[in-house]
Structure 1
Amino acid sequence: MQLISKTKSVVSAIKFNLKVQSLPDRIYLRQVMLPEMASTKPANVLLAGTRRYTRRYPQCFDQTVTTVWTIDFDPSAARFGNAARHRVGDMCSVDEVFHDIRFDIIHINGILGFGVDTPESIRRMIEACHRAIQPDGYIMLGWDADRTPDPTLNPDITSRFVHTAFAGLPPRHTVTGLDGYDHVFDWFRRTD
């Protein structure tokens, strides 16, 4: 019985992974956003949140030019991170987790409303990202309109970052995501 249960669990995980990868926001992320990020040849990139469907994201970058780091608060998700460049930690203290690294880009997708939920935790995450990013570095916030208030209206964000285009990408890109709700990608540049 345990073998049957484990097999069902693995099959369910694979089906979920395929479903998520087929969503319009994930297709845009893989086919447009990550290649555009890679084309700018950043030195250090942080991809926040690791799951089975994100494990190939670091491969979008030229590893001879860009060091891609990953982070997730869940130790069991480490196997989907970027091997030796993965850290288990909280985005609300990302500057402490990566105390010796300053990022050119911090890519945060699917964390707002899914772990960083309260105004206080959003403020802490944004402050930590501001400290962890290079001057004129960028953060990308991917969020679901049904779970999170618009980040462009959050003074904790707008006092530290300006909403702007990144490379060939617009400041905001919206797609219909899971269950018909909008998934929004917003780019912000650090200001001082």
Structure 2
Amino acid sequence: MPILSKTKSLLSSVHFNLKVQSLPDRVYLREVMLPSMAKTKPENVLLAGTRRYTRRYPSFFAANDTVVWTLDFDPSAARFGNGPFHRTGDHCEVDQIFESVRFDVIHLNGILGFGIDTPDQVERMTEACHRALNTNGHIMIGWDSDRTTDPAENPTIISRFEHSKFADLPARHAVTGLGGYDHVFDWFRRTD
């Protein structure tokens, strides 16, 4: 690849990264959600979905309090994960990928409609996350209203989880994102 093409590609990547980081949902995530999560000092957290704009997310948590695991289905995204705590795999198999780990929090932002698309996939992901969470553990599902149906109305999700606040965060927080569609953050607590 000629140097000019490489330079254009790098500049395009940096521009996209800056654009995504400036979106209202990403600002809320960085300025409100991640700091609030970190204050609870969970032992194990899973941040699902890694990209250039997510690579600093693990640094919100104190290393002596929390092990931050990352997961992405795309092997090329591993470079943005949390080093030795990153895994590549299917979000529908989170309990198998992290067989010996139980999470206090699983953070799934932008997964529904972007890889977990069918009702069967949502059901498999829900069941796997339920098994991977500690009793009373929490799952956060961030979703775009133009890409998927409301998880708080999904029978599989509500049969395994209670829609409820987490720490000082509300059960639901929505921000208007790209194209005027809402990006919604929903918290659910594991029920047995």
TM-score range, shorter chain: over 0.9
The Cα of 1:131 is off from its aligned counterpart by: 0.5
The secondary structure found in structure 1 opposite 2:113 is: coil
The Cα of 1:119 is off from its aligned counterpart by: 0.5
Q: CA RMSD in A?
A: 0.6
Q: 2 CA distance for matches of 1:8 and 1:118?
A: 36
Residue 49 of structure 2 corresponds to residue 46 of structure 1 = no
Q: How does 1:105-120 map to 2 (within 5 A)?
A: 105-120=105-120
Residue 183 of structure 2 corresponds to residue 180 of structure 1 = no
Q: 2 CA distance for matches of 1:95 and 1:3?
A: 43
Q: How does 1:160-171 map to 2 (within 5 A)?
A: 160-171=160-171
Cα-to-partner distance string for 1:15-36 (whole Å, 9 max, x where unaligned): 0000000000000000000000
Runs of 4+ in 1 over 4 A off after TM superposition: none
- Residue 157 of structure 2 aligns with which residue? 157
Aligned residue identity for 1:150: D
Cα-to-partner distance string for 1:52-74 (whole Å, 9 max, x where unaligned): 00000000001100000000000
The Cα of 1:82 is off from its aligned counterpart by: 0.3
Q: 1 CA distance for matches of 2:137 and 2:178?
A: 30
Q: How does 1:53-72 map to 2 (within 5 A)?
A: 53-72=53-72
Q: 2 CA distance for matches of 1:2 and 1:156?
A: 51
TM-score, normalised to structure 1's length?
0.99
Q: 2 CA distance for matches of 1:145 and 1:34?
A: 22
Q: 1 CA distance for matches of 2:28 and 2:175?
A: 9
Q: 2 CA distance for matches of 1:98 and 1:83?
A: 15
The Cα of 1:87 is off from its aligned counterpart by: 0.3
The Cα of 1:168 is off from its aligned counterpart by: 0.2
The secondary structure found in structure 2 opposite 1:128 is: helix
Number of residues of Structure 1 aligned to a counterpart in Structure 2: 192
Q: 2 CA distance for matches of 1:30 and 1:148?
A: 23
Which sections of structure 2, spanning at least 5 residues, go unmatched?
none
Aligned residue identity for 1:4: L
The Cα of 1:3 is off from its aligned counterpart by: 1.4
Q: How does 1:1-192 map to 2 (within 5 A)?
A: 2-192=2-192
Cα-to-partner distance string for 1:84-132 (whole Å, 9 max, x where unaligned): 0000011100000000000000000011000000100000000000000
Aligned residue identity for 1:87: R
Q: 2 CA distance for matches of 1:10 and 1:122?
A: 35
Aligned residue identity for 2:115: G
Q: 2 CA distance for matches of 1:35 and 1:139?
A: 16
